[in-house]
Chains A and B, each alone.
Chain A
Amino acid sequence: MTGYIVRRMIVAVIVTIGIAAITFLLLHALAASPANAVLGEKATPQAIAAWNREHGYDRSLIAQFGSYLGDLAQLNFGRSYKLGQSISALFSENAGRSAYLSGASLVLALIVAIPLGIAQAVKRNSPGDYIATTLSFTLYAMPSFFLGLILIQLFALDLHVLPALVSDNITTTWGAVTHPDQLLLPVVTLAAVTVASFSRYMRSSALDALAQDYIRLARAKGLSQRVVLTRHLLRNACLPMITLIGLSIPALLAGNLFVEVLFNYQGLGLLFYNALGNEDYPYLLAYIVLGGVLTVIGNLIADIAVTVADPRIRLG
């Protein structure tokens, strides 16, 4: 068990270094030196060369990558010259609101998807199952921004019950938490897209579990349907969800990007969008590193959590 975790962690570190290498190469290919961003487009070649020498951009690629890795290890993601701020500061300023958006929609998605998947499996091939499957298939094929547009039309423009955009006054994570009406549409949009994929997995995993002998035994003992479902089925059918949550991090980040842009919610995704327009490559690549590291950590935690939760894997 410990050996397994140690081995998984070593692989995670190697993959993280690989992510850093690729983003470093991308950054180098797209914007080898931020000198132009600092000194302006009309800077003389001498001034640029001097700036590069001063900041170490004239060294060999390997040496530059070495210091890039060293900086990353100290959580120094470099500097956004367009915004005149260190990227770590930008991250810590905005990460809370993005994490709240992702976290709230992930929790909401799980609350909906787990019972929905189980209900679909128990009442499989019923009209309700068909309706839910059709709905999740449609949502699965729908970009989050299009779903968001439909919800804006419905709840903001037609019914006038929710705001179409998140208010500019929401500047802190606490502000986002204490104004649920502002965040409801973004959270529901992101959650609905996630439910579409989660409920399909949950349905098939519950179907697998329902066919097992222990369910038949529980029924044969005369346990009520409720006890069979909550005590015997739920825990076993939820095991694949652990892996799925770990794997859903890239999708959540992408969802964050579109939802934050659509609802004008100040977070890391909206910053990324603005950086795209400004061609602020240090921020863009730093965000990709962050996304990659979160993906690796998510997979690692999911792998470990599955071994903890499932004795067949832990002891087998």
Chain B
Amino acid sequence: MADLGAEPLIEGVPHFGSPNFPATAPEGGEVQVISSGWKLALREFFSNRLAILGLVIIVFFVLFCFVGPLVYHTDQTNTNPLFTDLAPTGGHVLGTDDNGFDELGRIMAGGQTALEIGFLASFIATVIGTLYGATSGLAGGLVDGILMRIVDVLLAIPYLFVVLVLATKYSATVIEESLILGLFSWQVSARLVRGEVLTLRVRDFVVAARLMGASRRRIVVRHLIPNALSVVIVNVTFQVADAILALAGLGFLGFGLQYPAASWGDMLGGAQNAIANGYWWLVYPVGGCLVLVVMACNLIGDALRDAFDVRLRRR
């Protein structure tokens, strides 16, 4: 079996492994190069109109939040008591807030922290979850049982409340906030990766790799993680959305980033007074941005899940 194709079976006829195999080009009908699973998934993803909409929204907000401030200069560190709560005018496109900060500039600054923390927190959670899930699935037996019961326990504890309690002490900077959010939200990806690993590790190509003497590390890094990646990627997008929502919740309750760092949740913290006074520009633009970004992440996540799901694929 191992030396199949090592020698030509019939002299002069191209064989498996020789440079001009197969001898004849396939003919007739529509012949396509068989795409890899990833290419198929990508094609499927880009044929989904909602996915494109989600991508466009995310790209827009990345540009708006990170490039916008270079074009639209505002002072977001020094308060300006003479110009508080101004209605939108030419100078301040979305007016000013209670501290005299330009609201549009503040939305950009808050968007930066939301996107940074959203991606960083979900990255942290995904790395922890992937390693934990892969370890648990590979170890099997008692270790797997214990590790998964720990996940059960952590899943049963209401995530937002633990994060809030920790935020009373550590939530001043982007890094701290990402760590808090990431360290308590890896359980779902751990469970997903473990499930994938359990089904993958008995598949033929993994068994073959093991028989060929591949180290455990190599099997994990070369075979298991790349093949479990699709579930992880789908989960990442939902995790970004969850992290941004949780961050907004922390900010709204007043346990977000330390002033004067901006976050969308903090900006909505005073929204009740703002609407009572009729300062609509302090509430709806920032709330709308929050909803759009979270919705875009969910749209991308749904489309990715459909694209990776072989059963739902049209071809």
Residues of A within 8 A of B (CB): 11, 14-15, 18-19, 21-23, 26, 30, 137-138, 140-143, 145-146, 149-150, 152-153, 157, 164, 250, 253-254, 257-258, 261-262, 272-273, 276-277, 279, 281, 284-285, 287-288, 291-292, 295-296, 299
Contacts and interface: CB of A to CB of B under 8 A. Distances in A.
B271 interface: yes
Interface of A is mostly: helix
A18 B295 CA distance: 35
A19 B253 contact: no
A250 B154 contact: no
24 contacts: A15-B156, A19-B153, A22-B153, A26-B162, A30-B165, A137-B299, A141-B291, A145-B249, A146-B268, A146-B271, A149-B283, A152-B272, A157-B275, A257-B160, A258-B249, A258-B252, A261-B253, A272-B164, A284-B161, A291-B157, A291-B161, A292-B157, A295-B156, A295-B158
Given A19-B157, A272-B164, 14 more contacts: A19-B156, A26-B165, A30-B165, A30-B166, A137-B295, A140-B298, A141-B291, A143-B245, A146-B287, A146-B291, A149-B268, A288-B157, A292-B157, A295-B158
B27 to A, nearest CB: 40
Contact of B149 (A18, A138, A150, A272): A18
Interface residues of B, number: 39
Contacts of A296: 156
B165 A284 contact: yes
A253 B298 contact: no
A38 to B, nearest CB: 19
B249 A15 contact: no
Contact of B291 (A19, A142, A153, A291): A142
Given A22-B154, A261-B253, A295-B158, A149 B287 contact: yes
Contacts of B295: 137-138, 140-141
B159 interface: yes
Given A138-B295, A250-B159, A285 B249 contact: no
A189 to B, nearest CB: 13
B203 interface: no
Contacts of A291: 157-158, 161
A149 B245 CA distance: 16
A30 B287 contact: no
A138 B158 contact: no
B294 interface: yes
Contacts of A146: 268, 271, 287, 290-291
A19 B151 CA distance: 11
